[in-house]
């Protein structure tokens, strides 16, 4: 018998070269089994060809996890941003830097007024990045047609936020960048 896919000789139900299932013609009889070896002889296991593993779409299996991770990352950004802003606001108090020097010669007391405005800048940037993360997670969970593009942009932007942003960015790009991912996402997307 020969394999219909690759024309290799086949001795069982599956082709040993490509793994395709071979249907024997009607009335075909398999060759009889070889005689049993002598006692004590251990015969090596025959090489079996396994059926091909069914393809599981990458986007479909990772989309929900990716959306949830983006929402969690947005919450993480909010918490760290608020903590950083509160720290900078605390530093903007008068005489904050005087406590580090007993004789008042600490070199940075003139920076105290700038820390309040720096805290405001940090808070605005954190609100923007957290909103982008929440919006990305929402668009992936709701399977919006533009969600893939937004997630790729957010993934590239998050690569510089070591370690969590980098990990999430790499995971996002791994799931959504390949050529097949676009077609898979278009099938799953809500175009309404």
The DSSP result for 50-90, as a single string, is: PPPPPP--HHHHHHHHHHHHHHHHHHHHHHHHHHHHHHHHH
| Average pLDDT of span 14-23 | 74
19: left (phi over 0), alpha (psi -120 to 50) or beta: left
What is the tens place of the pLDDT at every residue in 111-165? 667 777 888 898 999 999 999 999 999 999 999 999 999 999 999 999 999 899 9
Are 137 and 150 in contact by the 8 Å Cβ rule? The answer is no
> In terms of Cα–Cα distance, which of 35, 122, 108 is closest to 78?
122
Decide: 3 and 22 in contact? Cβ < 8 Å: yes
Tell me phi and psi for residue 7, to 5 degrees: 65, 20
Q: C-alpha 166: how far from its chain's center?
A: 11
pLDDT in the model for residue 29: 60
pLDDT score recorded for residue 181? 87
pLDDT tens sequence across 176-187: 998 888 888 888
Residue 46 has pLDDT above 90, yes or no: no
Q: Would you place residue 172 in the very low, low, confident or very high pLDDT band (cuts 50, 70, 90)?
A: very high
Give ∠ CA 71-140-156 in degrees, rounded to 5: 75
According to the model, what pLDDT value does residue 35 have? 66
Please give the pLDDT value at position 58: 82
Q: What is the pLDDT of residue 166?
A: 96
Most confident of 9-13, 16-20, 80-84: 80-84
Contact 149, 124 (CB under 8 A): no
DSSP 2: B
Q: Which residue has the higher pLDDT, 142 or 104?
A: 142
Does the pLDDT at position 33 exceed 60? no
* Share of residues in the chain with pLDDT > 70 (%): 72
> Can you give the pLDDT at residue 106?
55
Residue 48 confidence class, pLDDT cut points 50, 70, 90? low
Better-scored residue on pLDDT, 175 or 51: 175
CB atoms within 10 A of CB 124: 12
Q: Are 132 and 151 in contact (CB under 8 A)?
A: no
* CA dist 87 → 77, 92, 119, 164 (Å): 15, 9, 8, 22
User: From start to end of 60-165, where are the E strands?
Assistant: none
Residue with tokens 């969970």: 141
Report the half-sphere exposure of 180 (CA within 13 A, side-chain side). 8
Highest mean pLDDT among 50-54, 86-90, 104-108, 171-175: 171-175
């Amino acid at each position: 018998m020969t394999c219909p896919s690759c024309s290799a000789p086949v001795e069982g139900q599956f082709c040993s070269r490509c793994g395709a299932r071979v249907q024997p013609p009607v009335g075909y009889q398999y060759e009889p089994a070889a005689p049993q070896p002598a006692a004590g002889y251990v015969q090596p296991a025959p090489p079996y060809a396994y059926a091909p593993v069914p393809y599981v779409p990458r986007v479909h299996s990772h989309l929900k996890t990716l959306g949830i991770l983006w929402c969690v990352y947005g919450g993480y950004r909010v918490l760290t941003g608020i903590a950083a802003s509160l720290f900078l606001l605390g530093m903007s108090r008068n005489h904050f830097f005087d406590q580090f020097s007993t004789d008042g010669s600490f070199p940075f007391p003139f920076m105290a007024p700038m820390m309040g405005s720096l805290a405001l800048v940090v808070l605005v940037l954190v609100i923007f990045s957290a909103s982008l993360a929440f919006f990305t997670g929402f668009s992936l969970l709701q399977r919006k047609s533009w969600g893939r593009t937004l997630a790729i942009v957010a993934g590239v932007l998050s690569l510089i936020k070591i370690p969590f942003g980098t990990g999430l960015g790499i995971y996002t790009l791994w799931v959504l960048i390949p050529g097949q991912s676009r077609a898979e996402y278009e099938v799953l997307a809500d175009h309404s």
